[in-house]
């Protein structure tokens, strides 16, 4: 007989390399508090249903609490030979109360046990993610409040398109992160489910009370199908998918911060607390934290792709392949929470160069649409107005001037519809202030957007 908790039918032991290959304890250690929480609920249920005696239930619970105390005090040594978190915890329970520890595993399997651990773990992570996301959204709103009337070039194809409010630009990211928040909120629904009691896959013959463990563990509901309970990893895939979308949004924002803080733009300056220097170039101030968030996006994408690939060919119910569900989940959780925290810090300490932003809209042709709209408002078909302005822009480029530099006589030669009021229309600040259509970049429109966000956030 092999000296394993499952070793009764085995005559030969695993060789060392194979044992290490199959063991998951090296990355499952963070599940320890959740494993103990699940065991405490399970043993209470065993006692209350009479599957074991009340005295046995109490003694096992006392032993589990002693193991929990050792865990909190850093006195637990996780051993490879015990394979996983469940057997490691059970071995310490055995040290505390002896053979009675074996009764804890009545009416459960490591299959439903590990699923329960991960639901509990991810539920706690989702709480942290939602809190961090709310904090970042609040920071964006607070930054946007002071940048409503800051004018900057809006871009399409990374070319100057039309002048916009920097406040609106910031609030675009608020909208993205709000959608992320809503996705993670929905993720909670499928995470807040109890697999405990599904046993290996078919349930159990013991008269367990799954509603009791659901209540004790704080889950919203129990799985309706025991096979689904032990094999479902959709809640993790939802998390990884949501994490990938979140990191994509953060990466896009970081890309803009990198551009804006460059010598060519000089739109913003990042705090020294979120920058590094060069070992050879004394003048350098590198936006490494923004680059790292952009870079770490790839690893979160990879974790999603990896688990999707693991899951795509698995027959019901549990398979050892499912051991591969944890490392990517842990890594993505660490990555997004840290990225949200760092992003929050970068934005809350950001210095905005309003002068450079607005100046960049005065030395370009981002006001060309204003001239076309001006002509269209006076009755000229927009397509004809577009053509005339395009020809004028080409002429200005050849002369090295901008639309606001064209004299009134030349404008009236272009079209008699143009009067002296055109110069006010061509100002970038005027262009922004007039665009108050729903969702537009006009100052009043952006103010409304920010007020709505404040109500959502209750700030």
Catalytic residue among 157, 263, 279, 437: 157
Structure tokens of 7? 């070793």
| 10 three-class SS | coil
Angle at 361 between CA 358 and CA 367, to 5 degrees: 135
Nearest residue to 403 (alpha-carbon basis) of 163, 164, 165, 167 = 163
108 contacts: CB under 8 Å, gap ≥ 6: 42, 196, 197, 199, 204
For residue 163, what is the enclosing H or E element? strand 159-165
Q: Where are the alpha helices (DSSP H) in 73-209?
A: 85-97, 110-145, 166-191
In degrees to the nearest 10, what's the CA dihedral of 153, 156, 158, 159?
A: -60
Nearest residue to 296 (alpha-carbon basis) of 349, 350, 347, 337 = 337
The span from the CA of 228 to the CA of 221, in Å, is 14
The span from the CA of 183 to the CA of 186, in Å, is 5
The CB density around residue 283, as the number of other CB atoms within 10 Å, is 6
Q: How many helices (H) and strands (E) does the chain have?
A: 19, 6
Catalytic residue among 86, 278, 348, 433: 278
Q: Contact 150/167 with Cβ under 8 angstroms? A: yes
278 counts as catalytic: yes
Structure tokens of 141? 């709103």
DSSP state, 194?
Answer: E
169 counts as catalytic: no
The β-bridge relationship of strands 351-352 and 221-222 is unpaired
The CB density around residue 150, as the number of other CB atoms within 10 Å, is 22
Q: What is the largest CA-CA distance in the chain?
A: 102
Residues that are catalytic: 157, 278
């Amino acid at each position: 007989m092999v000296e394993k908790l499952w070793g009764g039918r085995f005559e030969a032991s695993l060789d060392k390399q194979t044992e290490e290959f199959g063991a998951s304890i090296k990355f499952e250690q963070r599940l320890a508090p959740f494993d103990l929480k699940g065991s405490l609920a399970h043993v209470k249920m065993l006692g209350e249903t009479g599957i074991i005696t009340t005295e046995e239930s109490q003694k096992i619970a006392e032993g589990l609490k002693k193991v929990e105390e050792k865990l909190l005090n850093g006195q637990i040594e996780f051993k490879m030979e015990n394979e996983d978190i469940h057997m490691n915890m059970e071995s310490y329970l055995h040290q505390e109360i002896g053979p009675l520890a074996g009764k804890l595993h009545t009416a459960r399997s490591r299959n439903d046990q590990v699923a329960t651990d991960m639901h509990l773990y991810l539920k706690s992570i989702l709480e942290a993610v939602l809190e961090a996301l709310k904090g970042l959204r609040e920071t964006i709103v607070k930054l946007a409040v002071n940048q409503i009337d800051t004018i900057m070039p809006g871009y399409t194809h990374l070319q100057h398109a039309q002048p916009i409010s920097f406040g609106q630009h910031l609030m675009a990211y608020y909208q993205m992160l709000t959608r992320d928040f809503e996705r993670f909120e929905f993720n909670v629904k499928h995470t807040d489910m109890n697999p405990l009691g599904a046993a290996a896959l078919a349930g159990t013959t013991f008269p367990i009370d799954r509603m009791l463990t659901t209540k004790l563990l704080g889950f919203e509901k129990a799985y309706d199908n025991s096979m689904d309970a032990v094999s479902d990893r959709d809640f993790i895939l939802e998390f990884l998918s949501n994490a990938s979308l979140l990191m994509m949004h953060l990466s896009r924002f970081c890309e803009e911060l990198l551009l804006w803080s460059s010598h060519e733009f000089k739109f913003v300056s990042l705090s020294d607390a979120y920058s590094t220097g060069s070992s050879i170039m004394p003048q350098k101030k590198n936006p490494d934290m923004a680059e790292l968030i952009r870079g770490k996006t790839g690893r979160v994408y990879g974790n999603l792709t990896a688990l999707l690939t693991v899951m795509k060919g698995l027959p019901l119910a549990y398979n050892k392949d499912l051991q591969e569900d944890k490392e990517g989940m842990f890594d993505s959780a660490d990555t997004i929470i840290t990225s949200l925290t760092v992003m929050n810090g970068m934005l809350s300490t950001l210095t905005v160069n309003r002068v450079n932003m607005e100046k960049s809209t005065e030395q370009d042709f981002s006001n060309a649409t204003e001239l076309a709209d001006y002509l269209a408002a006076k009755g000229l078909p927009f397509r004809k107005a577009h053509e005339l302005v395009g020809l004028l822009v080409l002429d200005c480029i050849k002369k090295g001037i901008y639309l606001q530099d064209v004299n009134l006589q030349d404008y009236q030669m272009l079209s008699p519809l143009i009067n002296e009021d055109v110069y006010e229309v061509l100002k970038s600040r005027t262009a922004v202030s007039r665009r108050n259509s729903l969702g537009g970049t006009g100052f009043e429109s952006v103010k409304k957007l920010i007020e709505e966000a404040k109500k959502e956030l209750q700030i």
